[in-house]
Amino acid sequence: MLRDKVILVTGGAGLIGQEFIRGVIENNGIAIIADNDENLGLRFQNKISSEFNTNNIDFVKLDITSSKSIMDAISYAENKYTKIDALVNNAYPRNENYGRHFFDVTYEDFSENLSSNLGGYFLTSQKFSQFFNKQGYGNIINISSVYGVIAPRFSIYKNTNMTTPVEYAVIKAGLIHLTKYMATYFKGMNIRVNSLSPGGVRDSQPGSFIQNYKDHCLNKGLLDKSDLKGTLVYLLSDLSTNLNGQNIVVDDGFVL
């Protein structure tokens, strides 16, 4: 489905990013791991190269808050592959105080996290869309969340130390509207923009949370990280050519 498509995934060495990279490779695409953690990124590149016996896996160091870093990554990919078919905005930069409860969040931390994350998605999209416009086509997929669609269900965190950070909800909601903004702004440029909003992904959460979460779903509850690959591959493929400005929710019915 993705044969010979060159796809750059920001945060490609992270929990979900690694599965996105796998999805691209499994469908015969060329995957570029774009991550700020060079050691982790290169280790994952070597692992995938060996696992799939392929050279269609690459790494580029990328800081989504730096124009120079983004332009360097674009130049690297263009020079090596002569094209870039798609950008997957998946990175999630945050500062050391990220994750605090609402009353404990400072204005400075709130602003910094929105700037680095939502601002980083804007900056990366801006630079890549300029390249796509010059190239004549492009595809951008923003990774949002169910909490960009609905308000957090705080009851599922009962008897845990977990919460949904206010920055997370604002960032993810902003990404969905940024997606719509860009899709309409790029009218006539042959650049399409969509977002993918996952539900919760299993990642060593406490049992009480897992059960509380499942009570709001229809069947499975928390997703496995691999459950998102199919939708991403569809958005990257020519099967979704006429899908533009949309937000696709993958959550086992959590938002219903």
Choice among 137, 168, 181, 213 that is catalytic? 168
Distance CA 50, CA 168 (A): 35
Cα distances from 168 to residues 49, 139, 188, in angstroms, run: 33, 24, 32
Order of all β-strands in the sheet with 57-61: 57-61, 30-35, 6-10, 86-89, 138-143, 191-198, 247-250
83-111 CB burial, b ≥16 within 10 A, e <16: bbbbbbbbbbbbeebbbeeeeebeeebbe
**Token reading at 161:** 């130390």
Q: Tell me the C-alpha distance between 93 and 236, whole Å.
A: 24
Q: 166-185 and 107-135 helices cross at what angle (nearest 10)?
A: 20
Phi, psi of 63 (to 5 degrees): -110, 110
Q: For residue 14, give the 3-state DSSP assignment.
A: coil
Catalytic annotation present for 168: yes
As a residue count, the chain comes to 256
SS3 83: coil
Query: What residues are labeled active site?
Result: 168
